[in-house]
Amino acid sequence: MLKEKRLHRLLRGTERKEGDGMHRWERKLLNLIQDKGRSHKGDRVMKAVSRLGDKGAVWLLLTGALALRPKTRKTSTALTIALALDAATCNLVIKPLANRVRPFERDPTVRLMVPPPPDPSFPSGHTTAAFAVTTGLYQNGSRLWVPSMAMALLTATSRMYLYLHYPSDVIAGGLLGVLVGKLGTQLNDACWDRRDKKRAQQEENTAPSQPSPVATKSIPKPKGSRRAT
């Protein structure tokens, strides 16, 4: 086992010279995680965390759960918009334009613990979705943003731990997530304000007309003298 690790380190040094698309600090950090930070328990935890974020599953479930309660329905629609913006900007625009090769494709000595993703590396879609939802929760005053932030940080770490993303992919994903989370809340607030105004207008138009206070005021009887008998 020790000889195998040394061989891997030697191969990394020869395989990943200049022109591999990675900055030196990114290479050092990923190698440090692989060489010093991995354990059997860590492998299980990081695989589980990463799988929860596949296709945004855990965030979609949370968004759906919030939609079931009228009190948190507005937060749910804000998260829905944020995740839609995430999918459009990250997966449909930035990833194809950047077309960055993933780190495991540059270093064949690393054994993947999960199936290799087919899409480009930059930015991290898992991280973007996690921070988009966390930002949306915070912007809408939900206390769930605290455990969501913990999950977002674990997700970002897992993507590097599993050798699926460069550190800069994760950083860019976090920043993009914050941006679409804020934008999703702003768009959602505008939609809900317009809906509330429309409802108020409809209620005002359909409300029965109230009679005029002047018309309904009782006319006092004149005070006259008693009829003579």
DSSP state of 176: H
Please tell me the least confidently modeled range out of 9-18, 84-93, 165-174, 208-217. 9-18
Give pLDDT tens digits for 177-203. Answer: 999 999 999 999 999 999 888 888 887
Question: Angle, to 10 degrees, between the axis of helix 145-161 and the axis of helix 40-52?
Answer: 120
Angstrom distance (rounded) from CA 62 to CA 60: 5
Q: What is the pTM of this model?
A: 0.80
Give pLDDT tens digits for 43-68. Answer: 999 999 999 999 999 999 999 999 99
First to last CA, the chain: 130
Locate tokens 């505008």: which residue? 190
Half-sphere CA count of 66, side-chain side, radius 13 A: 23
Domain ranges of the chain: 2-195
CATH placement of domain 2-195: 1.10.606.20
Angstrom distance (rounded) from CA 43 to CA 161: 8
